[in-house]
Amino acid sequence: MNTSLLQYILHLADNSFIYGHRLSEWCGHGPELEVDMALSNIALDNIGAARSLYQYAAQLEGNGKTEDSYPYLRDGRAFRNVLLVELPKGNFAETIARSFFFDAYQSLLYKALMDSSDKQLAAIAEKSLKEVTYHLRFSSEWVIRLGDGTEESKQKMQDAISKYWDYTGELFSASETEIDMIKNGMAPDIESLKPSWEKIVSDTLEEATLSYPLRADGAWFQRGGKKGVHTEHLGFILTEVQYLQKSYPGCEW
């Protein structure tokens, strides 16, 4: 079994699973019906992508593992999602800012992963890219709408961009697992994706009449999720998600 491949797949799956869960918290609480439905569907897309990746992980690992083994039977230190996706949903502008940053990253990552030497990973990336393209269009259009809207919406969007900016550096900071995958031709060099991501962000913020956050070269960013060091917020997510399985081990519908 290729340990680096397994850990990389779990990293991607955990990102989508936790991000999807956070977006699902808007179900029934969106500012308008259309937005409520859109966020719910985007949440389902991400959880669906996580399922495909968890299924592949179970196939690689064997030992009786299933797709449910990973989200329901691991503790927080075993999760490898980036910190950005586990932060509380906050207000609508904050959800949009976080979604925009992550959607832009996922769109570039999945496009590059289509060239992975691992055919199954490439196939999952190809399918997911179609969905993420819509996700990015949705979040970027809302950044523009809020940024170029009322004085209040502009301020909230600018505050949200600044709030989550410190968590974006981890997206492009390669872990040891990612470095191994890059060397084996199974994953793209994520640091090489950063200039394209920055252009997407800067172009969108310019259209939204928002300020681009400036940081000096080598500035400190929040990180740790890829190594299993998380905020307390992940613990609350897992308490909710894993409650049934831990209360009634092995239960089936």
Domain boundaries along the sequence of the chain: 3-247
Q: Which two tokens stand for residue 92?
A: 């609508």
Nearest to 71 by CA among 62, 82, 81: 81
Exposed / middle / buried, residue 36 (Cβ in 10 Å: 0-12, 13-18, 19+): middle
Render 152-206 in DSSP notation, one character per residue.
Answer: HHHHHHHHHHHHHHTTSGGGGS--HHHHHHHHTTSS--HHHHHHHHHHHHHHHHH
Q: What is the pLDDT of residues 150-172, one digit of tens each?
A: 999 999 999 999 999 999 999 99
Whether the model clears a pTM of 0.75, i.e. scores above it, the answer is yes
Predicted local distance difference test score (pLDDT) of residue 215: 67
User: Does domain 3-247 sit in CATH 3.40.50.300?
Assistant: no
- Range from 40-44, 52-56, 83-87, 221-225 carrying the lowest mean pLDDT: 221-225
Give the largest Cα separation in the chain, rounded.
57
Contact 101, 201 (CB under 8 A): yes
